[in-house]
Chain A
């Protein structure tokens, strides 16, 4: 199964980006975006929401989209 290696790879990538100590907004946003992609992978594959009824899957997708958009907006605007 490709999901676990993908999650580990994404974790190591964001850790390397973060511990470099860069204060760049682009890097901060990249780290947040990677986190939300990981959340979506865990939800769809480990929580099995990809096989859930449409209403539950859509609720989860909206959650990820709204949380991600809000966080990225806050990091870009503030």
Chain B
């Protein structure tokens, strides 16, 4: 079955369509995503204008750690999506603390990679590649830190016996924010680590 066919099959009818979280949150999320798209463009332009410097600098990164972090974020997103469905149906959302653990794992791995790169003598002032690398992944890490706060809210909400519609709206917003953090990394990772 193709993705498109699956989407058509499982999409809600128009009268059941629903905005996850507060509608205003989506203006912020889409704005943030557009800001990161500008960052992606900067990386692509740098790659095109200075391919040798880009490739040489890229060698100092650790793609295995980048892969590990991607898998941690994808796992966290899948666990959050499952946890939100459980919260809506009034069941215990036991997956959410594991999602929080994955998020903390990402931050720890990122910290280790920064330490390794800096130990090898590369800092934001080394060249444009490392300036972009530290600034853009640092901004992403700041988003992830807020995402850890959002996941903590989800874990706290999951401990309640029943959620009010207001609580559910907060839970949906926190989940949507977390998925955005995942989504942004899915592009940052290949642009910095994989596209040679």
Contact = CB atoms under 8 A, between A and B. Distances in A.
Interface of A: 1-4, 7-8, 11-12, 14-15, 17-19, 21-23, 27-28, 31-32, 34-36, 38-39, 41-48, 50-54, 56, 59-60, 63, 66-67, 70-71, 74-75, 77-78
25 contacts: A11-B74, A14-B194, A17-B194, A18-B196, A32-B190, A39-B186, A39-B187, A41-B3, A42-B182, A42-B183, A42-B186, A43-B179, A47-B20, A47-B176, A47-B183, A48-B81, A50-B11, A51-B16, A51-B17, A54-B17, A67-B40, A70-B41, A71-B40, A74-B48, A75-B48
Contacts of B18: 48, 51-53
Given A31-B195, A47-B180, A11 B71 contact: yes
A50 B191 CA distance: 27
Nearest to B8: A50
Interface majority SS (helix, strand, loop, mixed), chain A:
helix
A4 B86 CA distance: 17
B17 A63 contact: no
Residue picked from B3, B17, B63, B196, most chain A C-beta under 10 Å: B196
Contacts of B37: 63, 66-67, 70
Contacts of B186: 35, 38-39, 42
Residue picked from B17, B47, B55, most chain A C-beta under 10 Å: B17
Interface string B23-36: 00010001001100
A66 B187 CA distance: 14
Contacts of B41: 70-71, 74
A3 B183 CA distance: 14
Interface majority SS (helix, strand, loop, mixed), chain B:
helix
Contact of A53 (B17, B183, B193): B17
Contacts of B193: 18
Nearest to A29: B195
Given A14-B190, A42-B77, A51-B17, A74 B44 contact: yes
B123 interface: no
Interface string B44-73: 110111010001000000010001001100
A4 B17 contact: no
